[in-house]
Amino acid sequence: MHDYFTITGNSCRIPFADLCRRDVRYQSYFTKKEYQGSQCIHPQGTKINHFGIVVSGILKAVDNTLDGTEMCHAYFEPKDIFPEFLYFSGERYYTYSLYAEKKSTVIWVPVCVMEEMLSKDQQLMYALLLYISQRGLKNQLYLHCLNYQTIRERVAYWIVGMNNLTPNEAVHMPCSQAVLANMLHVSRASLNQELKLMEKEGFFKIVKKEMREVDMARLNELL
């Protein structure tokens, strides 16, 4: 799913995260930090004092069940912001624990600074609304994806239902199969086996972190 949004009065497509980072009036308030893989950034219950902008890597929001099982319910990738849904819905504390899935870099913007930026810049506010709408749509599509029963169907929907593909366009895969398995709510071993079978049957060709030669017609037939 593309993360670029048309800004009113601007022919360019600029992500919300980039608009924030380019605002020289407030850059002195920004703090950049690096985190190692598996590092806990904020435990559940931490007060929300900053908005985060992912520069590189990937973060995950997790909850732990009573038996200690980790349940991941969201990922934050480069140019994502957080915790926008929590804060703008009135929540002032993290309702999940935030971890770095892999080595990651985050820019932190104080809440008061972000609020001032939004109040003084209509283009930035518009870009935020588009970003939040896009994430909301993405979450709805994931729920629809999980309604499919088989791993093959979920993979097919993840490819053609959640990516605005053009003919011959490659699909960028997550940083690891474990991340994609978590997204699809299946085991890593089962996903790996199914991807190999689907590649052998000609649905796509996996080259490093991309799916190429995607047969969209055949994938649509599975849905």
Q: Which helix (H) or strand (E) holds 74?
A: strand 70-76
Closest CA to 53 of 87, 85, 77: 77
> What is the residue-wise DSSP string for 193-206?
HHHHHHHHTTS-EE
Task: Please tell me whether residues 34 and 107 are part of one structural domain.
Answer: yes
Please state the domain count of the chain.
2
- What is the structure's pLDDT at 108? 98
Each residue of 30-88: pLDDT tens digit?
Answer: 999 999 999 999 999 999 999 999 999 999 999 876 676 677 878 999 999 999 999 99
Each residue of 102-112: pLDDT tens digit?
Answer: 999 999 999 99
Burial class (CB in 10 A: 0-12, 13-18, 19+), 75: middle
CATH of the domain at 104: 2.60.120.10
- What is the structure's pLDDT at 4? 39
Mean pLDDT, to the nearest integer, of 80-98? 94
Task: Please tell me whether residues 114 and 195 are part of one structural domain.
Answer: no
Q: Which domain holds residue 182?
A: 147-221
Q: Amino acid identity of 97?
A: S
Domain boundary among 80, 103, 138: 138
